[in-house]
Structure formats: C-alpha cells, structure tokens
Amino acid sequence: MFWSSRKTEELSFRYENVYIHPTAEIGVDVELGPFTYIGPNCRVGDASRLHNNVTLVGNTSLGEGNEVFPGAVLGAIPQDKKYQGEETWVQIGNRNVIRECVTVNSGTLQGGGVTQIGSRNLLMASCHIAHDCVLGDDITMANNVLLGGHVRVESHASFGGLAAVHHFVTVGQYAFVGGLARVTQDVPPFMLVEGNPVRIWSMNKVGLKRSGVSPLTLKALKEAHRILFRSRMPRKEGVEALLEVHGEVPEVRALVDFMASTEAGNQGRSRQP
C-alpha cells in the first residue's frame, strides 16, 4: 500500500521538514527523518526508515524494510559524459542497510537504463555504486568501496574497505575482495582476492563456512583453487581433470563456467564490450 502525496495531505502532517514531490509514493509504516528529500517518481516501500538528510531522486524505487542513513544520495544522474538527460532508474530491493553518505547513480541508455541492488545487502559508509551496476543479494561492502559503471556483483560477495572495482568487472558469488584491492579483472566465485594489482590467494574459506557450505563442497573448491590457480597445468587440461573428479559439485561447475566466460571476454572482463 502506498500513500500518494498528490492525493492526500496526511504526508505533510506526518513528516515535518521533509520534502515529498507530488508524484512520489510512500508506503505504510515508513519513517522519514528531518530534511529528507523525496524527488519526482520516487517510491519508498513499507516499513522503511530514512534517517535525516537522505536524498532520493531520479526515479528511485526502494522496496520494503530498507534503512537509509544520513547523507545518502540515491538516484543522482550518472557521472558519465555520454549521459544526456535520458530518463533512467534505480531499483533497490528489500531489507537493505545503506549507511552514511552512500551514493548510488541511476543507469544510462548504453547500460540498459537501470542500476539495480537486490535485497539484504549492507553498504557501509561512503560506498559508491556507479551507473548500470547490478548487485545481487546478501552482499557486504565495507567503508569506501567504489564500484565503477556496469559492474556486476553476484550474491553473497564481500568487500574490505577502500576496494576499487574497474568498470565492467564481474565479482562472483561468495567471493571476498580484500581491503585496498585494485580490481581490474573479473573475480572468480568462491575465491579470495587481494592486492594491487589484485591476485587470487585462496578460496574464501571463512565466508563459505559461515554460509553453511558443506565440507564436501569446501574440499572440492580447495582442489579447484589448487588446479586452476596454483598448478602449472594448462587450463584446458586442468578443467578436464577437475571436472572428472568434482564435476557433480554445482559450485565447481559454476566456477568453471565463470572462468570460461571471463576468458571469452575482453581484457579479463566478461562484460567488457
């Protein structure tokens, strides 16, 4: 259920010192702090809480149960010289925590027009999500993580503070990107990467265990890391040997498919045009 500020004066009564555009929609049980700005065609889902001084612009849609902290700006126009004022969007799912001064830019026509963030993500203070990024669910980004345009982050990935990700990079599911990392190529799922330039160090053992991955799967992924990223075996032979032993493990299949997609891409990025 949404209140339309065009049709009722109750919003003005409930939210003192808040600006809500007539075309905006506000769900039920929503808390809006002082000096929050809700721009044209924005939407805030039920049971969400926007602290003071939050800004929503650019056709931004928030799902249910989100919490947005002071200084966040969601939906500002892309920082891209190709953008010429086209109508684009930001779509954010449910139960995300978006901390202080996070910025999320809207999409561009070249990237499909939409920046998307899934559900149950934690974006810590001062993170930046650039235009046309696509984030899955249950992602954790520590303070000051920067995502360039067109980045894709699969579900359950995690980032240490101050990591910077090059545009068009894909970060695989359950991957961990260490703090201060400079990420210019795709990050394989289930792996831990660190450094400048980034390097694959190990599988993400801690993250996988916390997520309840079985010991059998952990063993298979450890072997996959050894064969694919540590041995001197040619890639084709390594993949064949790995699949012969662990081909029935879905996570191993996902890793092999991800690597094949990256190698078929441009400059180590499967999504790079």
CATH code, domain carrying 46: 2.160.10.10
* Catalytic one of 27, 39, 107, 149: 149
Tell me, what's the pLDDT at 11?
66
pLDDT at 6 over 90: no
Catalytically annotated residue among 80, 132, 136, 166: 132
Q: pLDDT tens digits, residue range 28-74? A: 999 999 999 999 999 999 999 999 999 999 999 999 999 999 999 99
- Given this model, what pLDDT does residue 9 score? 53
* Residue indicated by tokens 């075309």: 23
Q: Residue 245's pLDDT is what?
A: 94
Give yes or no for residue 13 having a pLDDT over 90: no
Asked whether residue 109 falls in the same domain as residue 230, the answer is no
For residue 66, the surrounding DSSP H or E stretch is: none
pLDDT in tens, 113-166: 999 999 999 999 999 999 999 999 999 999 999 999 999 999 999 999 999 999
pLDDT at 267: 96
Number of domains present in the structure of the chain: 2
SS3 172: coil
- Give this prediction's pTM: 0.95
3-state secondary structure of 107: coil
| Catalytic member of 51, 128, 131, 150 | 131
Q: Please tell me what DSSP assigns to residue 226.
A: I
In a domain, 138, yes or no: yes
Catalytic: 65?
A: no
Count each helix (H run) and each strand (E run) in the chain, helices first: 5, 28
- Shared domain check, 146 and 23: yes
* 104 in the same domain as 218: no
Answer yes or no: do 6 and 129 share one domain: yes
Determine whether 33 is an active site residue: no
User: What average pLDDT score do residues 220-227 get?
Assistant: 97
- Residue 38's φ and ψ, nearest 5 degrees, are -115, 110
Decide: 31 and 49 in contact? Cβ < 8 Å.
yes
Domain assignment present for 49: yes
- 215 Cβ contact list (under 8 Å, min separation 6): none
| pLDDT over 90 at 16, yes or no | no
Cα separation, 252 vs 248, whole angstroms? 8
Of 150, 165, 200, the residue at which a domain comes to its end is 150
Same domain, 100 and 223: no
Quote the pLDDT of residue 10: 61
What is the residue range of 90's domain? Answer: 2-150
Considering the domain architecture, whether residues 23 and 129 belong to the same structural domain is answered as yes
| Pair 100, 229 in one domain | no
- Same-domain status, 9 and 102: yes
Per-residue tokens: 90:
């930001």
Q: What is the pLDDT of residues 163-181, one digit of tens each?
A: 999 999 999 999 999 999 9
Q: Smallest Cα–Cα separation from 261: which of 151, 170, 159?
A: 170
Overall average pLDDT of the 196-211 stretch: 96
130 and 233 both lie in a single domain: no
pLDDT tops 50 at residue 3 = no
Phi-psi region of 126 (alpha: psi -120 to 50; beta: other; left: phi over 0): left
Both tokens of residue 60? Answer: 């931004």
Position 18 pLDDT exceeds 60? yes
132 part of the active site: yes
Q: How do residues 63-110 score in pLDDT, each as one tens digit?
A: 999 999 999 999 999 999 999 999 999 999 999 999 999 999 999 999
Q: Is the pLDDT of residue 4 over 60?
A: no
Is 65 a domain residue?
yes
Q: Cβ atoms within 10 A of the Cβ of 227, count?
A: 19
Looking at the fold, whether 28 and 131 belong to one and the same domain comes out as yes
Whether residue 18 sits in one domain with residue 117: yes
Cα angle 222-225-227, degrees, rounded to a multiple of 5 = 110
